[in-house]
Structure 1
Amino acid sequence: MSATHILVVDDEPDIRALIQEILEDEGYAVVVAENGEAARHSLRERRPDLILLDIWMPDRDGISLLKEWSEDSGLPCPVIMMSGHGTVETAVEATRLGAYDFLEKPLSMAKLLLTVERALEADKLQRENVGLKRRAPLVPEPIGRSAAMQRLREQVKRIAQHDTWVLITGEPGSGRETLARYLHSQSARRERQFVDLSVSGITRGNAAYELFGSEADGHIHYGALEQAAGGTLLLDEVADMDLEAQGQLLGALDTGSFLRVGGSEPVRVEVRIVAVTQRNLEEDVRAERFREDLFYHLNVVPLHVPALREHNEDVPELLNYYVDYFATHEKLPYRRFSVGAQNFLRHYPWPGNVRELKNLVQRVLILGAGDEVTQNEVEGALGTPVPVPNQPLEGAVSFDQPLRHARELFEKAYLEYQLEKHAANVSKMAKEAGMERTHLYRKLRSLGIEIKERR
C-alpha cells in the first residue's frame, strides 16, 4: 500500500529540503516543486493527498495557483499555505479559496506536522460524511450469528490481510457494499480512501472519463482510480461496464498505469479493486458480454453474500439492530417486535433482502404506535402474505398463537393465494379447493376477502 502523498511547493531550496526530510521521517511520501509550473507538472503526474504551497514565488504566486485549482472541479486535496510575508487579507483570501490553513515562516516543525495531520484527518472525515449522505446508512460489519454469516466474516478477515482483488456476488440489497466496506476496514488500506463508483450510473461512452479522469488546457479532472490511489476502489455492478471500457480497465490493471482522457503522459496507480455484481459473470463471458481476461483479473478471490432467506435465523438480530439504529440516529420511537412478528418475518421470503428489512423497520417505527410491533402490523406493512405452492405451513403461519386463530390465518392466506392464481374466478377456485361455490362465498365474506377488488 502506498504512503500518503504530499506535494511541497516552495521556491527556496533549503525550505523544500527541510520540509521533505521532516515529512519523510514521519512516513509520508513527498514530492517537491520549485515553482508554479513544476507544481502543475506534478499534479499531472499524480493526484496528491495534501499540498503545502508557498505564496510568494517568482513565476506564479500561490494565491493564483490556489484560485486556478479551485476553479477546475474544486481543490484536488487539502492545501496548506505558507508565507513569510503574509497579511490578514492574504490569509482571508486563501481561506475563501478553500485553503485548509495558513502557516507563517519561519516554520515551526511541530506546528507543521500537527497541521498536516489535522488536514488529512479533516479531509478523511469530510469524504466519509459525503458518502453517508449519498447512500443509506451502512452497518459496520455484516450482521448475523448464523453459520453462513460467521463463515463469511472469517473469509473477509483472512482475505483482507492479502492485497488481492475481490469479486463479490449476491442479490441486490443483500449487503454486498457493506461487505466491501468491511473488507476495506479490516485491511492495511483502512486509513486510505474507499471510493465507490456505480458503473450502472455512468453515461454510455463516459466510462473512461469517470475511471481515468481527463486533462485539457492545464485543467485536470481526477478519475476514480486516482481518487482511490493507495486505497480501495469499489466497482459497483461491474457487469454493466461496456466492452470498450472493460478493455481500458484491463490495460490499466495489467500495466499499473493509464492515460487520462486528453493526456499524453502515463499515470501510475496503485489501488485495490473490489468488484460487485448481481449477475453471473461466467455466463456473461460465455455470451461475450464480459471480457474473459478481465473476469479472471477480478475473480482472484470470489465472495458470495447469501440472500436473507438463506440465513433467516439472523432476522431477529437484524430487526434489533435497525430498531436501535433508527431510535439513536433518527430519533424514532423505540418499539420491540413481538415474538409472533419475529417468527412471521423469519419465514417471510425477503425478495429485497436486508435493504427491505431495514425499510420495514423504519416504516413501522414512523407509522406505528405503542411499544410493540405486532404480527398484524407487520403483515399490513408488507401487504397480505401469499404462500408459495408446496411451502411448509410454518412459512405462512406462526405457531405461537391459539389453534383457531392460526387456522383462520391459514385459510385466509390459502384463499388469497387461490384468488391471485385464478384471477378471482370463483368457479376455478371452488374446483381446486374442493368446495361448493356457495360455501366458498360465505367463507370469503367471513374472512373479509373482497372478490371485486381483485378483478
Structure 2
Amino acid sequence: MPAAQVLVVDDEPDIRQLVQEILEDEGYAVRTAAHAEAARSAVAERVPDAILLDIWMPETDGVALLREWAEGPGLPCPVVMMSGHGTVETAVEATRLGAWDFIEKPIALAKLLITLQRALEAGALREANQALRAQILPELAPVGDSAPIRALREQLGRLARHEAPVLLRGEAGTRKESLARWLHQLGDRRDGPFVTVAAGAISEAQAASTLFGAEEGGVVSPGLLERAQGGSLFLDEVAALGPELQRRLCAALERRELLRVGGLKPVPLDVRVIAATAMDLEAERAAGRFLDELYFQIAVVPVEVPALRDCVEDIPELVSSIVEQLARQQLPPREFSTAALKRLARHDWPGNARELRNLVQRLLLLGEPGPVSLAEVESALGQRGAAAREPGEGFEVALDLPLREARERFERHYLLQQLQTVGGSVGKLAKLAGVERTHLYRKLKELGVDIRASREA
C-alpha cells in the first residue's frame, strides 16, 4: 500500500524540517511549502492526502488560504491547522471553513500523529462516500427521455440547489423514495443523513417517541427527526400520520426545534423535509383528516411524479437499467426481444415502476438463457391478470355513478378479492397493493370491509 502523502506548509524552516523528519520516520511521504503560493503550486502538482497548515505566515496567512480553498473549488483534502499564537476566534473560524483539527505549537509528537491519522481516515472515508455516491446516483435518477421524465429530472435538479420543502405526489410504485434520495444526494446536505419516516408503519403507541425521541432517567433516545440532523427527512406517505403526530410535527417544523417525550429542553432542528404521498391531500384536508398547517409546510414545492403508463416510451431504457442493477446482485442478465418490449409498452402498469421491476426480476430468475421472448412476457402478465381475477367473478361499475362512489365501489371489490387471495392477511395485502398498513386499516374500515370474514372465507 503506497505511503500517505502529507503537505507541510509553514514559513519556519526548522519546523518544516522537524515535522518532515518525524512524519517520514512514521512512513509518510512528505512535501513542504514555505508560503501560500508554494502550497498552491504543490496542491496543483499533486493533491496530497492531508495538509498541515500554519496559521501565521507572511502575505497570505493560513486562514486566508483555507478560506480561498473553501470558497473556491473546496478543500482538496483534510486540513489540520498549526499555530503557536492561536486564539479561540481563529480556531472557530478555521473550523467553520472546514479545517479538520487544530494543533498548538510547540507540537506534541503524540498529538500530531493521532490527529494526522484521524484526518487521513476521514479523508479516506470521504473518498469512499464520493465513490459510492457516484455509483448510486445513476440508479436513483429518473430513467428515460420522455417529456414527463425530462421535466421531472430538470425540476428536481433545480430544487436540489435549495432548501425548500418538497412534496412528491404520485401513484404507488413510482419510486418516490428513490427520487427523494436522488434529490438529497444532489444537494448540499449530501454528506448528512437521509432518514425515512414510514408514516404508516409507525406504531401508534410508540409514535411520538419514535419520531421525536424520548428522555427518561437521564437516558436520551434520539428519534427519527433528530437522527436526520444536518441531512434530509423523508416523510413517506405522510397522509398516514395520525392527528396528534401531525400537530406535533407541524409545531416542530414551524419552530425549527423538537421536544423529546419526557424532555424539558427543546432541541434545535436542522433538516430538509421531503414528503411523499399517493393520496389526494386536498381531499384529505377537506375531510379533516390532514392538518392544513402541516400541508402548507410540506407542500412549498409540489412535484408531480408521472405514472409509468404516461411515459411508456422509456420502458426499453428502464428494462435495461433494471437488468443491469439486478446483474450486480448476481442475477443472470438477459436481453429482451423487440416484441417483448413492445408488449411491455402496451401494458397498463397499475403498479408502475415497482411492478415493472418485479416482473423483470421474475423473468431473470425463472426464464431460460437467451433473450426474453414475447411468449414469456405474455405468460408473466397473464398470470398477474389471472391472479387479480381469481377468487371472484368480473366486476363492472355503472358509468352513471359519481366518481367518488364509483371509486369506492371498485376499491371495496378490489380489497375484498385481494384479501381472499392472501388469506385475510392485512400485512400481505399492504405489500400486494403497495399501501402503508396504517392507511390500509383506515381504508378497510371506511369501506366496511370485514377482515375476519375474509379470513374465514
TM over 0.5: yes
Shift of 1:369: 0.7
Q: Superposed, which structure 2 residues align to 1:365-404 within 5 Å?
A: 365-383=364-382
Q: Matches of 2:185 and 2:266 in 1, distance apart?
A: 30
Shift of 1:192: 1.3
Unaligned runs of 5+ in 1: 1-13, 31-49, 53-83, 85-102, 388-415, 424-455
Q: Matches of 1:213 and 1:249 in 2, distance apart?
A: 12
| Counterpart residue number, 1:145 | 145
Residue-by-residue CA offset, 1:330-378 (whole Å, 9 max, x unaligned): 2222211111111111010111111111111111111111311111111
Shift of 1:208: 1.6
- SS state at 2:354 partner: helix
Name the aligned partner's letter for residue 360 of structure 2: V
Q: Superposed, which structure 2 residues align to 1:9-408 within 5 Å?
A: 25-27=94-96, 104-105=110-111, 108-118=114-124, 139-327=139-327, 329-383=328-382
- SS state at 1:383 partner: helix
- SS state at 2:248 partner: helix
Q: Matches of 2:233 and 2:138 in 1, distance apart?
A: 17
Q: Matches of 1:169 and 1:422 in 2, distance apart?
A: 29
Cα distance change, pair 138–263 in 1 and its aligned pair in 2 (3 A): farther
2:202, 2:210 within 8 Å by CA — same for their partners in 1? Answer: yes
Cα distance change, pair 192–22 in 1 and its aligned pair in 2 (3 A): same
- SS state at 2:325 partner: helix
Shift of 1:19: 10
Q: Matches of 1:370 and 1:299 in 2, distance apart?
A: 48
| Counterpart residue number, 2:31 | none
2:324, 2:333 within 8 Å by CA — same for their partners in 1? Answer: yes
Shift of 1:114: 2.5
Shift of 1:115: 3.8
2:142, 2:153 within 8 Å by CA — same for their partners in 1? Answer: yes
Q: Matches of 2:358 and 2:243 in 1, distance apart?
A: 35
Q: Matches of 1:51 and 1:176 in 2, distance apart?
A: 39
2:140, 2:179 within 8 Å by CA — same for their partners in 1? Answer: no
Shift of 1:382: 2.0
Q: Matches of 1:422 and 1:353 in 2, distance apart?
A: 22
Q: TM-score if structure 2 supplies the norm length?
A: 0.59
Cα distance change, pair 292–360 in 1 and its aligned pair in 2 (3 A): same
Question: May I ask how many residue pairs the two structures share in their alignment?
Answer: 302
Name the aligned partner's letter for residue 350 of structure 1: W
Q: Matches of 1:29 and 1:210 in 2, distance apart?
A: 33
Q: Matches of 1:223 and 1:51 in 2, distance apart?
A: 30
Q: Matches of 1:218 and 1:117 in 2, distance apart?
A: 35
Q: Matches of 2:381 and 2:290 in 1, distance apart?
A: 37
| Counterpart residue number, 2:403 | none
Shift of 1:207: 2.2
Unaligned runs of 5+ in 2: 1-82, 103-107, 397-457
Residue-by-residue CA offset, 1:368-425 (whole Å, 9 max, x unaligned): 11311111111112225879xxxxxxxxxxxxxxxxxxxxxxxxxxxx99x96499xx
- SS state at 2:377 partner: helix
- SS state at 2:322 partner: helix
| Counterpart residue number, 1:98 | none
Q: Matches of 1:51 and 1:195 in 2, distance apart?
A: 28
% identity of equivalent residues: 40
1:180, 1:234 within 8 Å by CA — same for their partners in 2? Answer: yes
- SS state at 1:302 partner: strand
Q: Matches of 1:240 and 1:21 in 2, distance apart?
A: 49
Q: TM-score if structure 1 supplies the norm length?
A: 0.60
1:231, 1:272 within 8 Å by CA — same for their partners in 2? Answer: yes
Cα distance change, pair 278–385 in 1 and its aligned pair in 2 (3 A): closer
2:101, 2:115 within 8 Å by CA — same for their partners in 1? Answer: no
Cα distance change, pair 305–180 in 1 and its aligned pair in 2 (3 A): same
- SS state at 2:168 partner: strand
Cα distance change, pair 20–325 in 1 and its aligned pair in 2 (3 A): farther
- SS state at 1:362 partner: helix
Shift of 1:24: 5.5
Shift of 1:311: 0.9
Q: Matches of 1:300 and 1:173 in 2, distance apart?
A: 23
Shift of 1:110: 2.8
Residue-by-residue CA offset, 1:20-49 (whole Å, 9 max, x unaligned): 96686244789xxxxxxxxxxxxxxxxxxx
Name the aligned partner's letter for residue 192 of structure 1: G
1:379, 1:385 within 8 Å by CA — same for their partners in 2? Answer: no
Cα distance change, pair 333–29 in 1 and its aligned pair in 2 (3 A): closer
Residue-by-residue CA offset, 1:145-174 (whole Å, 9 max, x unaligned): 100000000010111111100111111111
Cα distance change, pair 422–232 in 1 and its aligned pair in 2 (3 A): closer
Instruction: Calculate the aligned-residue CA RMSD, in Å.
Output: 3.5
Q: Matches of 1:271 and 1:278 in 2, distance apart?
A: 23
Q: Matches of 1:218 and 1:28 in 2, distance apart?
A: 34
Residue-by-residue CA offset, 1:83-113 (whole Å, 9 max, x unaligned): x9xxxxxxxxxxxxxxxxxx95465543343
Shift of 1:254: 1.1
